[in-house]
Amino acid sequence: MQNHVNIDTKTRLAGLIGHPVGHSLSPFLHGRLCELTGINMAYLAFDSLPENLPFIIKGGMAMNAVGFNVTVPYKKDIMSYLDSVDQDASLIGAVNTVKYTEAGTVGFNTDMPGLLKALDNEGISLKDANVVLIGAGGVANAVLYVAVKSEASNIMILNRTGSKARELAERFEKAHGSKITVHQYDEDFLSAMDRIGGGKKWIALQCTSLGMFPEVSKTAIDDDAFYERVSCGVDMIFNPSETEFMKRVKAAGGKTMNGLKMLIFQGIRSFEIWNDVTVSDETAALIIEKMQGLL
Peptide bond into 240 cis (omega under 30): yes
Provide the strand spans (E) within 120-166.
130-134, 154-159
What sign has the CA pseudo-torsion 117, 176, 148, 160? positive
Whether the CB-CB separation of 201 and 130 falls below 8 Å is answered with yes
Q: How far apart are CA 243 and CA 246, in angstroms?
A: 5
Which of 221, 265, 266, 267 has the alpha carbon at shortest distance from 243? 221
What positions carry a catalytic annotation? 75
Q: Which of 155, 202, 203 is nearest to 183 (CA)?
A: 155
* Helix, strand, or coil (residue 78): helix
Structural contact between residues 277 and 39, judged by C-beta atoms closer than 8 angstroms = yes
SS3 197: helix
> Residue 152's CB: how many other CB atoms inside 10 A?
23
DSSP 241: S
